[in-house]
Amino acid sequence: MNPVPPAKFSASDRPVRPHRKRKTKLLSVSALLFFVCGILFAAVFNVAMHWSNTEEFCLNCHEMKDNLYREYQSTVHYTNRSGVRAVCGDCHVPKEFLPKMFRKMQAAGEVWHSLMGTISTPEKFAERRPMLAQREWQRMKANDSKACRNCHDAQSFDLSRQGYRSVQQHQEGLIGKGQTCIDCHKGIAHQLPNIAQGINESDPQGISLDIFKPAIQEKPAENAKE
Amino acid sequence: MKKRFLTLIPATMLTAGLLLSGACASVIASDDSGGLATLRGASVSAAEKTVTGDGLKKALETPPVDRNFTDQPPLVSHAVDEYPVTRAFNKCLDCHSRENAKKEKATTVSNTHFEAADGKVLKNVSARRYFCVQCHIPQVDAKPLVENTFQQAE
């Protein structure tokens, strides 16, 4: 049995070769196709990502257009003397790739709620606003207000050109005690939900002041001194 | 002859009518108001003489300006453009409430503001005193629009 295979391979007609040639051709063509498809996919993906971050895209659903967009139009992030704007995505979508992908996937849930009409009327929206606002505050707090800092860099603050109250707060809280932008700057681009300021005792509903305005946490070293 | 005279009547009447209306129009036009008048008969062209204002003024971020009369609501010594006072939230009380004023080095809300309409003293600012900017406005460098000789009582 053994002597037969070597004889087969040493044959002059070499039956394997054309098959191998075809195989390499197929491989190179498919590699090229793969490459081109890859580039195309990357391009389309990039365009889609970019498009889904535009204001135009966000305003596609009437929930955004009728509720949030109107409030936002009177704020400094929409209109100001220099015309620099922060659109929805600048604050609500991270710039880094992985966090962005994560957020985009989370946003699939928002498509579902849009179809369900969860906040399809101003009344429904008002009802859910406390929950939605708090979720967004937590998100900003968790990443140290990264979206704010993409434009507002504390390192570049010219404190001499800020109001005296701002200077005090920024030096003490933001720079000194590690507070983050959203700790104080809530409701700057949207209206605030009901905050429990204790004005009307018959209406106790509202977000507690501990959440709305978290107290500055003293540094442990300073506590030790006292 | 008589027939021709008869045909002249409507023609003369028409010319007379045209002349009359033209005269009326010229009389009205001389008023320069296009025939318009206010209900009290004053000329509407007076509106063109309206003096334009100085434009928007920035709030003075200086120590509070003195009151002009006793019980005048004190002026606000900073801009309030970005501070909402809505049903949901009052930004002023974020600093000026009893709890926060000391910490924020701000003026405390007056004790009178804790009184409800029935005279009952409440734990927090009364709802009828909730809308701060109804009485307290930012101080600006504005001159009186008309001369007045008001003197504060001693």
A142 with A171, same domain: the answer is no
pLDDT at B14: 59
Q: Are residues A48 and A67 in the same domain?
A: yes
* A118 min Cα distance to partner chain B (Å): 22
Per-residue confidence (pLDDT) for residue B29, from 0 to 100: 45
Interface A-B: count of C-beta contacts within 8 A: 39
pLDDT above 90 (res A132): yes
Q: Do A146 and A175 share a domain, yes or no? A: no
Q: Which of A63-77, A196-210, B87-101, B126-140 has the lowest mean pLDDT?
A: A196-210
Whether A205 is covered by a domain: the verdict is no
Tell whether A163 is within 8 A of chain B (Cβ): yes
More confident residue, A169 or B32: A169
In single-letter form, the type of residue at position A213 comes to K
* Residue A203, pLDDT score: 62
Task: Name the average pLDDT for chain A.
Answer: 85
Shared domain check, A73 and A46: yes
**Based on the structure, what is the number of domains in chain A?**
2
Mean pLDDT over each residue of chain B, to the nearest integer: 79
The pTM (predicted TM-score) of the whole model is 0.72
Q: Which of residues 64-93 of B touch A (CB under 8 A)?
A: 78, 82, 84, 86-90, 93
Looking at residues B6-19, what average pLDDT do you find?
61
- Answer yes or no: do A39 and A89 share one domain: yes
Those residues whose C-beta lies under 8 Å from the C-beta of residue B146, and which sit 6 or more positions away, are none
Express each pLDDT in A160-207 by its tens digit.
Answer: 998 888 898 899 888 888 899 999 999 999 999 988 888 766 666 788
User: Which residue is closest to B113 within chain A, CA to CA?
Assistant: A199
Q: Residue B56: pLDDT band by 50, 70, 90 thresholds?
A: confident
pLDDT of residue A83: 94
Please name the member of B61, B88, B123 whose beta carbon is closest to the beta carbon of A198.
B123
Window 28-87 of A: residues touching B by CB (8 A cutoff) are 76
The rounded distance, in Å, linking the Cα atoms of A87 and A101 is: 19
Residue A106 and residue A133 share a domain: yes
Q: Where in chain B are the domains?
A: 2-38, 55-143
pLDDT for A142 equals 93
Band of pLDDT at residue B34, cut at 50, 70 and 90: confident
- In this predicted structure, the answer to whether residue B1 has a pLDDT above a threshold of 60 is no
Give percent above pLDDT 70 in chain A.
85
Of all residues in chain B, the one with the smallest CA distance to A194 is B88
ipTM (interface predicted TM) = 0.71
* Residue B61 contacts A, CB cutoff 8 Å: yes
Domain co-membership, A117 together with A162 = no
Give the rounded percent of residues in chain B with a pLDDT score beyond 70. Answer: 73
Q: So what's the pLDDT on residue A166?
A: 87
**pLDDT tens, position by position, A134-154:** 999 999 999 999 999 999 998
Measure the CA–CA gap between A66 and A4, rounded to whole angstroms.
Answer: 83
Q: What is the 3-state secondary structure (H, E, C) of chain A?
A: CCCHHHHHHCCCCCCCHHHHHHHHHHHHHHHHHHHHHHHHHHHHHHHHHHHCCCHHHHCCCHHHHHHHHHHHCCCCCCCCCCCCCCCHHHHHCCCCHHHHHHHHHHCHHHHHHHHHCCCCCHHHHHHHHHHHHHHHHHHHHHCCCHHHHCCCCHHHCCHHHCCHHHHHHHHHHHHHCCCCHHHHCCCCCCCCCCECCCCCCCCCCCECHHHHCCCCCCCHHHHHHC
Residue A210 lies in a domain: no
A54 and A160 belong to one structural domain: no
For the stretch A19-40, pLDDT in tens is 777 888 889 999 999 999 999 9
pLDDT tens, B44-55? 776 666 667 778
Q: Is residue A62 part of a domain?
A: yes
Residues A59 and A135 in one domain: yes
Domain boundary residue, one of A89, A123, A151: A151
Q: What's the CA gap between A127 and A117, in Å, rounded?
A: 13
Q: Are both A47 and A142 inside the same structural domain? A: yes
Does a structural domain hold residue A21?
no
pLDDT digits (tens, 9 = 90+) for B68-126: 888 899 999 998 988 889 888 999 998 899 888 988 888 999 999 999 889 999 888 99
User: Does position B139 have pLDDT exceeding 90, yes or no?
Assistant: yes
pLDDT given for residue A18 in this prediction: 62
* For residue A223, pLDDT beyond 70: no
Chain B closest CA to A147's CA: distance in Å?
A: 21
Closest residue in chain B to residue A216, using alpha carbons only: B103
Task: Tell me if A22 is assigned to some domain.
Answer: no
Domain presence at residue A43: yes
Q: What is the pLDDT of residue B144?
A: 81
Report the CATH superfamily, name and number, of domain B55-143: Flavocytochrome C3; Chain A (1.10.1130.10)
pLDDT at A124 > cutoff 60: yes
Q: Is there a single domain that holds both residue A146 and residue A169?
A: no
The answer to whether position A96 is within a domain reads yes
**Do A48 and A134 fall within a single domain?**
yes
pLDDT at B27: 46
Domain that holds residue A92: 35-151
Residue A30 lies in a domain: no
